[in-house]
Each structure stands twice: as C-alpha cells, then as structure tokens.
Structure 1
Amino acid sequence: MARSAVYRPTPADLAAAEGEIIPDVLAPDLRVLFCGINPGLWSGATGHHFARPGNRFWPALFRSGFTSRLLRPDEQDELLTLGLGITNVVARTTAKAAELTAPELRDGGAALVERVQRYRPRILAVLGLGAYRTAFGRPRTIAGPQSDAIGDTAVWVLPNPSGLNAHYTLDALAAEFRKLRMEAGSLC
C-alpha cells in the first residue's frame, strides 16, 4: 500500500518489504519510460519508485528539465501527465541490486522487451549500465543512446541514480538526463 512522503519505514517495515512488487507507472505511448534495475526495500515499504532518501532520480529529473519542480516519490503518478513513466528490469524488491542473479536480469530484460512492445514508449531509458549489459547481453555498453531499438522505441542507457553510485555526481547524472530530455523533446 502506498504511503505518504513523510512516512519513514522502520527496520521491521524494510525487512517485511523483501520481495514485494510495486506497480509500474505506465501508460501507452509515453515520451520516455524510465527503467530502474529493481526497487529497493524503501520503495517496497512505501510503494513508491526511487523512494530511498539519497536516491538521485527525482533531483536528476528536475535538474535536467523533465519536471518543472522537484517531485517527491509519492507524486510519481504526476509523471504520466508529462508523458513519462517508470518500470523496472526486475520487479521484486531487494536490499541491493547486487542480490539479483544474471538469469533473473536476463529474464527481466525479456519481460521488459514485451512491456515496451505492448506500451510503445518513444524512448526506453534503462538506469544502470551493469544491469543493461547483463539483461541484454551487451557487455560493452556505455551511457547514452544505443544502436539497438525495440520496435520503434529508441533505447538509452543512463547511470544508476542510486546514492551508492559514486561514479556520477548529481550534476553529472543530471547532465546525462538532460541529453535524453533534449532528444525526447525533439521527438514530440
């Protein structure tokens, strides 16, 4: 069950969220469908994507110009009015993405392809180089647009916005999101 932004899960709430599945924020014909690796326990406990304090998805979305203000995770459904959505490669929650197996990521990649073919977003933006490399068998992938499309859907790979990803500062992450926004804007 989704809870308000002020809700802070207890350790027991987080433990109980292991293996939970939260609904996608999804509709047909979106401009961009953002795809996380999988939800964390904080997201599982709150029912909101990228909900853990320190996750930089929402600030990067705002700083890149996708949103006119900084949205909270509990406002995730507002993305649909902007032609944006959220899904995950793997649906189940874990404490860390490293708990996912390679077969699970590959199966999740196949399910993601089916979702993309059904909902037809203009761009799929996968948030996590390692997860994309494993899920789609592309070991040398770098951030940015990919040469492989899924039907008419262009594919981009962006850095993981987790606060644990020390390779990218928030400014660098927002710059990568901004490149995607510029491309998404040219498609409208």
Structure 2
Amino acid sequence: MKPSATKPTAEQLAAAQDATIPDVIGPDLRVLFCGINPGLWSGATGRHFARPGNRFWPALHRSGFTPRQLRPEEQDELLGLGLGITNVVARTTAKADELSAEEYRLGGQALVDRVERWRPQVLAVLGIGAYRAAFGRPKAAVGPQESGLGGATDATRVWLLPNPSGLNAHYTLDGLAIEFRRLREAVGTA
C-alpha cells in the first residue's frame, strides 16, 4: 500500500493486517527506537507510530531528541539525527495482544541480528512487556538494563521506555518526555 499522510480508509486498515513496514535504520545510530509491532494505521500508511494519539513523536521532541516535532511521514529525517526505528515483531496487528509468545521470542532473536548488523549505541525498547517477553527478563523495568545486545566487547546498551501508545494510561505525555529525556541525557547529543 502506498504511504499517505491522509487518514486510511476502513478497507486500507483491514488490508494492512499482517503487513510489514520498512525499518528506519542505518549505520552510526545513537539510538534505535524499537516499538512492539506496527499497528494497522502504520501498516496502511507505511509509517511508524502513525496513528493519531500515539505520543512517540511529541515525546521525542519534548525530550530534546528532535529540534521540532516531526510527523510520521518525516520519519526518514531521524537518520540524520542519529536515530532510527524498528520493532520487536514486524507484523502489523490491531492490538499487540494479538501477538503470540513465539512471535515475541522469534522477534527478539531477529532484533539481536539487526543490532549486531547496525550496532547502534543504544536500543530503546518502547514497551516493557514486549522486552520481557522477547528476552525472557520478567523483572525488567523502565530505564537502562544491566546487559546489552550484540556481543560482549562492544555491546549495544539496552534502555526500556514506556509504550507511547495513547492506550498506555500509566504515563502522561509529560511523563513519557521525562523518560525519553533521561535516555537522551545518557547518550548525549549529536
């Protein structure tokens, strides 16, 4: 489906079930943000965190990662800022609870492969439950993790952030921005 900044139709949303969208990824990333999996709106538009009400883009800006609030259709501008986006599970669904434990486990293995290939300084997983499921770490909490990914000598650090979905009532936008800012301050500026 062709990416669009306009609202997807019901037919486009239905057709987006089980689709995939390309990662925003490249060399020399300071932070590779990792969502749980793309929603149908993202699948229909081909853009990460595309659904109105998702707080990823405002939190990214309020935390100081971007000089202005980017829109989903501007996601490729992240690469110039040393930032990227991927997902634990590539397949689009209406809700993350449609994913199986096996999909999380396999997604975690694929994520390790991506990290080893691209070697970002930090992998920031946006969803504690997804990280716990993908890597078998049931006690993981928001913030930096003790173990990294991608080899012992130059491992990519792992940092957990709250899920920016509008459905996550545990964090306000201000609360999300504070957690994103903690990460930004830990990795420094470009």
Structure 1 segments, 4+ long, off by >3 Å, are none
1:160 to 155, 158, 163: 163
Instruction: Give, in whole Å, the separation in 1 of the partners of 2:156 and 2:109.
Output: 15
Matched, 1:175 2:178: yes
Give, as a single letter, the amino acid of the residue that structure 2 aligns with 1:53: P
TM-fit CA distance, 1:184: 1.2
1:64 and 1:181 in contact (8 A); partners too: yes
Instruction: Give, in whole Å, the separation in 1 of the partners of 2:92 and 2:64.
Output: 29
Instruction: Give, in whole Å, the separation in 1 of the partners of 2:80 and 2:71.
Output: 15
In structure 1, what is the equivalent of residue 188 of structure 2? 185
Instruction: Give, in whole Å, the separation in 2 of the partners of 1:71 and 1:4.
Output: 15
Give, as a single letter, the amino acid of the residue that structure 2 aligns with 1:135: A
Question: What is the correspondence of 1:21-36 to structure 2 with a 5 Å cutoff?
Answer: 21-36=20-35
Instruction: Give, in whole Å, the separation in 2 of the partners of 1:89 and 1:104.
Output: 9
Secondary structure of the structure 2 residue equivalent to 1:78? helix
TM-fit CA distance, 1:3: 2.6
CA-to-partner distance for each residue in 1:94-124, whole Å, 9 max, x for gaps? Answer: 0000100011101000100010001000000
Instruction: Give, in whole Å, the separation in 1 of the partners of 2:3 and 2:102.
Output: 32
Matched, 1:95 2:94: yes
Give, as a single letter, the amino acid of the residue that structure 2 aligns with 1:168: Y
Secondary structure of the structure 2 residue equivalent to 1:85? strand
Instruction: Give, in whole Å, the separation in 2 of the partners of 1:4 and 1:39.
Output: 16
TM-fit CA distance, 1:4: 3.5
TM-fit CA distance, 1:2: 4.4
Matched, 1:4 2:17: no
Question: What is the correspondence of 1:118-137 to structure 2 with a 5 Å cutoff?
Answer: 118-137=117-136
TM-fit CA distance, 1:14: 0.4
Instruction: Give, in whole Å, the separation in 2 of the partners of 1:100 and 1:161.
Output: 18
Percentage of matched positions with identical amino acids? 73
TM-fit CA distance, 1:134: 0.5
Structure 2, unaligned runs of 5 or more: none
1:2 and 1:48 in contact (8 A); partners too: no
In structure 1, what is the equivalent of residue 38 of structure 2? 39
| Alignment length (residue pairs) | 186
CA RMSD of aligned residues (A): 1.0
Secondary structure of the structure 2 residue equivalent to 1:171? helix
TM-fit CA distance, 1:13: 0.7
Give, as a single letter, the amino acid of the residue that structure 1 aligns with 2:4: S
Q: How high is the TM-score relative to the length of structure 1?
A: 0.97
TM-fit CA distance, 1:28: 1.6
Give, as a single letter, the amino acid of the residue that structure 2 aligns with 1:22: I
Instruction: Give, in whole Å, the separation in 2 of the partners of 1:46 and 1:77.
Output: 14
